[in-house]
């Protein structure tokens, strides 16, 4: 099980790293100090579980968990010194809520809960997009994709960890993943599971509400009937 530690305190990160060394079948794939760094690392490191602090400068742990809500991976285990956020944490789908100083026994319990949940949501090794990031070949899971936008000769993939450039066309991607990707307009595809609603503006334009992001791409009139039908069908 791949674990990413997210905590602004160096000593807390070091302690969790040490404890995880005593846990069975666990790989620490990274350790970062804030939510923004965690988002950037998700696409590269593909963790199964985040050990996530709540009170951090910049993006809080709960704000990060809200961004990840609805996705199969990574799962979130909060590690915090404060009891008052527990209800919100579980409303956000957290696997467990550990109080600092974290004890090895409780950490193993949390990881076991995460392991059991992961067994019911296995990662499909074929559902990846392969592209380039700063000149290097990388991949991103379709579950992590937010949108795909045509940009001259490339397709820009917005995902939970940042951006990725693909050389495939939108049409090629649409044909490769017909059950997964839906078209909003001629320059934009999104995963069907991301579409949670439609918003009509005063000027008549329609925007798509997407789960796990504040991004709201515009919908073309041509594609609007199909999207409304998809929402009605659930």
Same domain, 68 and 14: yes
Half-sphere exposure of 157 (CA within 13 A, CB side): 28
Model pLDDT, residue 125: 45
Question: What CATH number should be reported for the domain holding residue 154?
Answer: 2.40.50.1020
Question: What CATH number should be reported for the domain holding residue 8?
Answer: 3.40.50.2300
Same domain, 99 and 152: no
pLDDT digits (tens, 9 = 90+) for 12-62: 999 999 999 999 999 999 999 999 899 888 867 889 999 999 999 998 999
Tokens of 221: 């009139």
Same domain, 107 and 144: no
Q: Is the Cβ–Cβ distance between 173 and 148 less than 8 Å?
A: yes
Model pLDDT, residue 155: 93
pTM (2 d.p.): 0.58
Domain carrying residue 23: 2-120
3-state secondary structure of 29: strand
Listed residues 54, 88, 120: the one ending a domain: 120
Same domain, 190 and 108: no
Q: Is the Cβ–Cβ distance between 64 and 47 less than 8 Å?
A: no
Q: Is the Cβ–Cβ distance between 52 and 97 less than 8 Å?
A: no
Listed residues 99, 120, 141: the one ending a domain: 120
- CA-to-CA distance for 19 and 107, rounded, in angstroms? 8
3-state secondary structure of 160: coil
How many domains would you assign to the chain? 2
Listed residues 78, 102, 120: the one ending a domain: 120
Intervals of the chain under pLDDT 70: 43, 70-72, 121-126, 234
Which letter does DSSP use for residue 91 in this model?
H
Same domain, 21 and 88: yes
Model pLDDT, residue 67: 78
Which letter does DSSP use for residue 232 in this model?
H
Distances (CA, A) of 137 to 134, 165, 219: 9, 10, 31
- In sequence order, the 6+-apart residues with CB closer than 8 A to the CB of 141 are 46, 73, 123, 127, 128
Same domain, 140 and 46: no
Same domain, 145 and 63: no
């Amino acid at each position: 099980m791949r674990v990413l530690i997210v905590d602004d305190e160096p000593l807390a990160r070091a302690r969790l790293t040490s404890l995880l060394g005593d846990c069975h079948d666990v790989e620490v794939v990274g350790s970062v100090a804030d939510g923004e760094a965690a988002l950037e690392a998700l696409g590269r490191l593909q963790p199964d579980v985040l050990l996530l602090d709540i009170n951090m400068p910049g993006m809080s742990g709960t704000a990060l968990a809200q961004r990840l809500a609805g996705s199969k991976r990574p799962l979130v285990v909060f590690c915090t010194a404060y009891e008052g956020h527990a209800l919100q944490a579980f409303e956000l789908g957290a696997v467990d809520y550990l109080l600092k100083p974290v004890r090895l026994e409780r950490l193993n319990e949390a990881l076991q809960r995460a392991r059991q949940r992961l067994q019911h949501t296995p990662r499909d090794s074929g559902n990846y997009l392969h592209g380039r990031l700063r000149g290097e070949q990388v991949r991103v899971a379709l579950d992590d994709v937010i949108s795909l936008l045509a940009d001259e000769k490339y397709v820009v993939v917005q995902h939970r960890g940042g951006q990725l450039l693909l050389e495939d066309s939108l049409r090629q991607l649409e044909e490769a993943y017909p059950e997964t990707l839906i078209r909003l307009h001629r320059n934009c595809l999104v995963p069907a599971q991301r579409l949670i609603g439609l918003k009509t503006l005063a000027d008549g334009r329609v925007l798509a509400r997407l789960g796990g992001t504040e991004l709201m791409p515009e919908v073309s009139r041509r594609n609007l009937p199909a999207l409304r039908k998809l929402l009605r069908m659930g």
